[in-house]
Structure 1
Amino acid sequence: MGQDIQSNLLDLLSFLNEIVKNQNSKISYIYNENYGYPDLGSNIKDMNLSEELKNALINYGIIKLYKFQQEAMESILKNNDTVISAGTATGKTEAFLIPILNLLKNNSEERALFIYPTKSLERDQISRISSLSKELGVSFGIIDGDTPPKERTEIYKNTPQILISNPDMIHLGLSLSSEFRNALKNLKFVVIDEMHIYKGIFGSHMKWILYRLSKLSNEDVLFIGSGATIGNPEEMGESLFGRKVKVIYGPKRRKGTALHIFIDHGYMSRWTFSSYIISSLIKKGLKVLAFTDSQQMSELISKISRKNYNTNVLVHRAGLSAETRKKVENDIKEGLIKGVVSTSTLELGIDIGDLDAIVMTSLPKSYSSYLQRAGRAGRRGNPGLVITIMGDDPIESFYLNNPEKYFSQEPDPGYIEPRNKEVLKLHFISYLLQKGFIKKDDMPEEFLDVVDELLQKGFISISNNIYHPSWKEGRNFILNNSIRSTGPIVKIYYKNKNIGYREMPQALYELHPNAIYYHSGETYLSIKLDVNSYRAEVIKLNDVHFYTKPLYNIDVIEVIPKEKRLAGIIPITYGDLHIMIQVEGYVVKDEYSGSIISTSYYEKPIKWDYWTKGILTKYPELMFESGEKKISSYHALEHVLISASRPIIGASDTDLGGISYPSGHIVIYDSSIGGHGGSKLVFDRFEKVEGLALKIVSSCNCEDGCPRCVFSPYCGNNNQYLSRKGALSLLKYVFENKETKNEEGKPLGKPLA
């Protein structure tokens, strides 16, 4: 490590120690990361590339490729569907761009489609693509929702050899525009960059978009995936592409030096402490990007930073206008501001300039996400500071006690649910509009899951075993449904002006009557939520120092089993679940401490039901000392199983929901409508989930339940009726008994969520 870098990091560490001590908190763990350059491959002059491309690369400053780049190039040139798995900022773009340019240079009729998950990322990457392309005379262009009509017409007339777009544009273009379809007919390559993003619902949609794309062009189109931090690149590539793939592994980390620091926030609330750390770093002159997994927490941290610490920290998240997000990106890139708090929207490789520090306000939803976020600090040869605020959370508590286990783990697996019925409905209608008709024998068998419903609702028709679309109804269906989600969208209105949106069922928890809602730095109070018209109305509030949490219950109405097995002595079923949510009231909590100020209940609960996927388990009915101890034990077990599932499958806090019953039944379900694949991974890895759950409850020394073991910030009962000791007894019984004595039966009694 260079002396200057060492000196800078020691100075930063000394500063951090000082500001943390001022709040009676502490630095719990420090991990020094130092990675060199990846292994080098052959000299450019010796490679099987055109002379023009060799000269262009040398002029560009590339004398040798890294070994993994060369391996990727050779795989692509051999016509292999290829997945490139390498860390952030390691040179993945060059690994697929060079072989594609080599082939397009001498084949003017063939085309390549580069797909990026967002419009911002498209435009961010164009400079890297354009430099080499221009020198070789390979044409390129962007087509998306922001492309002016005149440019779009020119693209349709003279399609560039490299076309850059995003999944939303491709989905709509394939369905609704014959000109768009014609522009993509001669595709030779389809590149899916940032492939690790396509997990869950978004990945399920992407699978079917790629299927439709392959049917449009030809079966010979070559798929290339590129992504960082993928735990199962081969499985994920084959799930998305529907083909066997060759995986090329690059370095897991970027070159450079970074200091990873865990800080226990102590008695101060997480968001207040996060605001304090972010503001302190900014005042020291550092450029800071902070991450939170909650839209509302990002707004709250921005507010506290401004009001309590006189620091301007802007918000970047979904639900804000594209113009607002773009301005935030430009302002921090140009140095006009020094701090941004973001959800996962800035987790991708959008160029916002050099960053001195990354602050994660909690452990991210997955280790893959941690690596992706951490990779944004200290680029271009500068050391990076990566701070994670740790505290009262079962998983954070576990890793505070075992930090070396956190940094020694492998990236999490990606998962999708290709049979999500909401996804299938959208893409069957879209595929019919794209093709005009489909013979029954030529249809993917997955679409059979939704045929009857679509016929009944009049979106499609059938005659002589040929399916046809209902053009008007189909078009409206496509335009009113997003590939970024599966739930209905609740529009938020202030003085009859639409200021934002929230997807169901999350809107139930954030926009129920009297909920505090943060948006664009302003504080609002929800005064009405209509779950039939999907409309919320809000009014502005000034200078409040509290926030709200919903009180709710969830019940399973119906279970349609798909798979069953035994996990030790525990019967476990995976299938379709029909669940009912009831928001019954809310608690008001102090912004600084998180303590409860008041509790209120509605006269009439707000109800909403939907279908998803999930698992149903049945635990033994042990001899508990009371009925309350019994329900508290199952409720605590449900909480800790969900907490343990997070690192096992790479899920966020809100990806999975849970329900416990006095009968010993525990349900873990996908929070997305139709399911996203997470609960299927829990089903497959349930023994691992139970094992981690046992470690969590057995290593905590609290009396009988606390935030570090069985509490959940998303508990519908405000963490009432929880027993760590009861959950521990159940898990010990499961691991110590080998005989199967449990009958599954049906859930009985009042559920707790």
Structure 2
Amino acid sequence: MLVAGGRRADRLTHVRELPARPGVHGEWPSWADSSLVAGYRALGAEHPWRHQAEAADAAWRGRHVALATSTGSGKSLAFWLPALTSVRADAATRTLDPGRIESVARRGSVLYLSPTKALAADQLAGLQRLLGAAGARDVRVATCDGDTSPDERRWVREHADVVLTNPDFLHFALLPNHRRWSRLLRDLRYVVVDEGHAYRGVFGAHVSLVLRRLRRLAAHYAREGDPAPTFVVASATTAEPAVSAARLVGVDAADVVTVAGDTSPSGHRTFVLWEPPVVAGFERAAETPGPDRHVREHTGEHVDEPTVPTTVEEAPDHPRRSATAEAADLLADLVLAGARTLAFTRSRRGAESVATQTQDYLRPVDADLARRVAAYRGGYLPEERRELEDAVRSGAVRALATTNALELGVDISGLDAVLVAGWPGTRMSVWQQAGRAGRAGADGLVAFVAREDPLDTYLVHHPEAIFDAPLEATVFDPANPYVLAPHLCAAAAEIPLRAEDLATFGDPAAITDLLGVLVARGALRRRSSGWYWTHAQPAAGMTDLRGSGGSPVRVAESSTGRLLGTVDAASADGSVHDGAVYVHQGATYVVESLDLADGVALVRRTDVDFGTWSRSALSITIADEPGAGDAAAGRDVVGRSWGPVGWGYGPVDVSSQVVSFQRRHLPDLQILGTEPLDLPERTLPTMAVWWTVPESVLEEAGVDADTAPGALHAAEHASIGLLPLLATCDRWDLGGVSTALHVDTEQATVFVYDAYPGGAGFAERGYELGATWLRATRDAIERCPCHDGCPACVQSPKCGSYNAPLDKDAAVRLLDAVLAHSPA
């Protein structure tokens, strides 16, 4: 079907057949509530899978559980069976022995946490189906998040047995107001942390500390002799699940039971790698892939020459067809063949484009089928997302083009195929997306469609990098003082910190030292009984778990005032500026005005045959000299020398500004015009490490003016890829800039910075271990068997300049020359 009778066979670079796997049943545990078992059976689960029974039994016995099995393996049953059985047992006690005071007062509670509101809503719907089938009307279940009204919150606090929420609500609302939630905390039996692999990097460190604050408050309210809550961390298949779950919850890994053997049935899946064809005579816009290329977002990696403007030139004579267009073609064929399909894209624009092009292909053939294709992405209104999810489940929508918003565990089963248009960044993500195909034992098809990018090109020609390499670990560091400090303040604001509390948050000696710093800065007050928060403002406001950078910008139709959706504050300048084209379910709107103060973009409905692409300029500046920073705030600039090679660490400002946009005709992307924009400059104050290379060292390395940009860029990419080995962070927590001449250092310079306001401690670790870091970077590049550079060495999945220019050999020579001057 995909190869179209052989006409597209040349695009197929590899086929991997993943054999079917039979399911292995377990038995319902003897302790399981009989009504719940009957409910599961009524819904089609006659017996649990063995891994479900093992995980449920471990949780019932009070063991923390790391449940790491594939998408669609039924993880929900494993945690809901013990949790709901516990709640129903308490309800039965109240009914059978209502005269005892403890029977009236005690009512075991369950807290469910998910990274998204959509997943919590999906779990609520599933719970309601189960409880309805079981006839268990004595279990009260509710979601509670930032959208919940005060009256609904009051009911949840007073009556709900199972509360489904997210870490953000826990941090900003529940824990700071714990006295109102004392009933829930006092009798907390189970805490379910769903999609645990989503908590990585700085976000993961924040969530880990939120969970430790939760454990502390649950212990504070618990009666003497009561057991601590049991945590179940449900995750996609990942490396070291018990270690990650233990670090997330704040317990010893030995106290966590790992259940990773997936015993659910899996149908035969065919996984194909697909490279779009070369299209002769096709012209498109392309930004110069040299040192004059500017990144479009502050977390990207790029070569930056602030003095040279970005230019546009003609593309190569034979570019490849875009992954978006190719995915739309394949999606149309799959829909015509009757397959229910998800097409994952890298961006919101890509999701809208794939859906629209697929509809255009189908409309002349079957208008009804065209109406059964839709887009799904962040920024849609909640009710619109729910309608789309229900439509996919019912079959009313046959195909969805989506961002990674559907990568997490929203229950959409019965799909025949999955398209992955562009590498999603990690093998863990690609397997999560692929797991949507062939669920519940059915056969499935997965196709990874490469973008015209060196990383994607490498992957479709080196299938071992996808199929045979190990999965990534979920990496985060709750001991990072930049992340830990505000949570210690939040914990002290909840109830004063005592010496015996410190082990909850990490090494007591290190925590004591950090508390001393917070006291010295006036954040906390030390008394003989502990540490106190004495400020009027809430301490939870000191940190933003997701680093979102502000409230979303609302997109509204100017003629009617109808709210269409939202755009993240960080991306509003580049996507809903004046004159931008905004696409919503295939309908095009042109932005009339963007009001950043009010957070509103007004749009008018207009059919247009063009799209808009914004351009940003980026620069990075450092303090003038060592000692010029804010030493009291720990933001002093420090430096050292390796002979002619200089090292620096300190505060930087990463400034970006959307300066213009292009209109490009669709679908050929011919440039119709460029218009300037007058938008404010955005500045990220953060911390960076940098190393400088004078002309003499470049000459030692045999790196001239032509090869310097590629050598520096390749070294920057590889060093960012290696720093997580030393700093316990994630690649996505870092940004980078490399330039052959920086205005502050007046030399060739490579910067690596923390992609979080105020810094996160990763760049500092790179500065402390400079020689070790660069030596590991050099060895990783040199030992890689590839010829010109690949994702395993110098290519980056998030490069702002599309992995160009890169010079692997020159990078090795450059690092050799730099390391030759390092201390012995």
TM-score range, shorter chain: 0.7 to 0.9
1:345 to 401, 405, 419: 405
Report the equivalent of 1:184.
185
Partner residue in 1 for 2:749: 665
The reply to whether residue 621 of structure 1 matches residue 701 of structure 2 is no
Displacement, 1:383? 0.9
Q: Match of 2:268?
A: 257
How far is the alpha carbon of 1:211 from its aligned partner?
2.0
Structure-2 residue corresponding to 1:294: 347
Partner in structure 2 of residue 381 of structure 1? 441
Could you say which residue in structure 2 is the equivalent of 1:747?
none
**Paired letter, 1:546:** G
Is 2:374 the counterpart of 1:314? yes
Which residue of 1 is the match for residue 240 of structure 2?
232
SS state of the match for residue 654, structure 2?
strand
Query: 2:4 maps to what in 1?
Result: 18
SS of equivalent to 2:439: coil
Inter-CA distance 686–93: structure 2 relative to 1 (3 Å threshold) = farther
Report how far residue 661 of structure 1 moved: 2.4
1:70-85 aligned within 5 A: 70-85=53-68
| Cα distance, 1:273–1:65 mapped onto 2, change above 3 Å | closer
For 1:371, the equivalent position in structure 2 comes to 431
**1:631 corresponding residue in structure 2:** 709
**Could you tell me the TM-score, scaled by structure 1's length?**
0.78
1:142 maps to amino acid: A
Aligned counterparts, 1:31-46, within 5 A? 31-37=16-22, 43-44=27-28
Whether the aligned pair in 2 keeps the contact of 1:291 and 1:341 (CA below 8 Å) is yes
1:248 aligns with 2:258: yes
**How far did 1:440 drift?**
9.1
Q: Please tell me whether residue 91 in structure 1 is matched to residue 74 in structure 2.
A: yes
Which ranges in structure 1 are unaligned for 5 or more consecutive residues? 1-14, 745-753
1:147: Cα distance to partner? 6.0
Q: Is the 8 A contact 1:517 1:523 kept in 2?
A: yes
User: Is the 8 Å Cα contact of residues 642 and 656 (structure 1) preserved in structure 2?
Assistant: yes
Tell me the TM-score normalized by structure 2.
0.72
Alignment of 1:382-421 (within 5 A): 382-418=442-478
After superposition, what is the alpha-carbon deviation per residue over 1:360-403, rounded to whole angstroms, capped at 9, x for unaligned?
11121211111111111111232111111113222212222210
Residue of structure 2 in register with 1:4 after alignment: none
Q: Distance in 2 between matches of 1:157 and 1:203?
A: 30
Which structure exhibits the higher relative contact order, with contacts defined as CA atoms closer than 8 Å and separated by 6 or more residues? 2
**For residues 299-698 of structure 1, what are the structure 2 equivalents within 5 Å?**
299-307=352-360, 310=363, 311-312=370-371, 313-418=373-478, 427=487, 431=491, 434-435=494-495, 467-468=532-533, 470-471=535-536, 473-474=537-538, 477=541, 483-489=545-551, 491-494=553-556, 499-511=564-576, 515-525=580-590, 541-557=606-622, 578-589=653-664, 591-593=666-668, 606-612=680-686, 616-617=690-691, 621-622=698-699, 626-635=704-713, 637-638=715-716, 656-662=734-740, 663-673=747-757, 698=786
Paired residue for 1:194? Answer: 195
Alpha carbons of 1:355 and 1:615: their partners in 2 closer, same or farther (altered >3 Å)? farther
CA–CA distance in 1 between the matches of 2:726 and 2:243? 17
CA displacement at 1:263 relative to structure 2: 1.0
Aligned to 1:271: 324
Question: What residue is the counterpart of 1:729 in the other structure?
Answer: 810
C-alpha displacement of 1:319: 1.7
AA partner of residue 750 (structure 2):
I
Measured in 1, the distance between the counterparts of 2:457 and 2:760 equals: 27
Shift of 1:592: 3.3
Q: Secondary structure at the match of 2:388?
A: helix
2:375 counterpart SS class? strand
Letter in 1 for 2:197: H
Distance 1:242 1:235, change over 3 A: same
* In structure 2, distance between residues paired with 1:570 and 1:75: 56
Q: Give the CA RMSD over aligned residues.
A: 4.9
Once the 2 structures are TM-superposed, how far is the Cα of residue 416 of structure 1 from its aligned partner? 2.9
Instruction: Output one character per residue of 1:144-165: Cα deviation in whole Å (capped at 9) or x when no partner.
Output: 14667766545433442x4333
Give unmatched runs, 5+ long, in structure 2. 92-105, 221-227, 278-319, 364-369, 624-628, 630-634, 741-746
**How big is each residue's C-alpha offset from its partner over 1:51-100, in whole Å with a ceiling of 9 and x where there is no partner?**
85897599667776555445434543443322122212223233333444
CA distance in 2, matches of 1:600, 1:448: 54
Partner Cα separation in structure 1 for residue 571 and residue 726 of structure 2: 24
Give the aligned partner of residue 12 of structure 2: 27
- Give the Cα separation in 2 of the matches to 1:330 and 1:51: 30
Letter in 2 for 1:666: V
Q: Do the aligned partners of 1:204 and 1:676 also contact (CA within 8 Å) in 2? A: no
Match of 2:427, as an amino acid? Answer: Y
Higher strand content, 1 or 2: 1
CA distance in 2, matches of 1:712, 1:119: 27
CA change 1:25–1:116 in 2 (3 A) is same
* 2:681 counterpart SS class: strand
Measured in 2, the distance between the counterparts of 1:229 and 1:334 equals 28
Contact 1:30 1:262 in 2 (8 A): yes
CA contact (8 A) 2:275 2:457 kept: no
Distance 1:529 1:70 in 2: 54
Q: State yes or no: 1:741 paired with 2:821.
A: yes
Q: What do residues 514-558 of structure 1 show as CA deviations (whole Å, max 9, x unaligned)?
A: 554444544455566677776656565532333314242231425
- Give the CA deviation at 1:139: 2.2
* Pair 1:121-2:84 in alignment: no
Q: Give the paired residue count.
A: 709
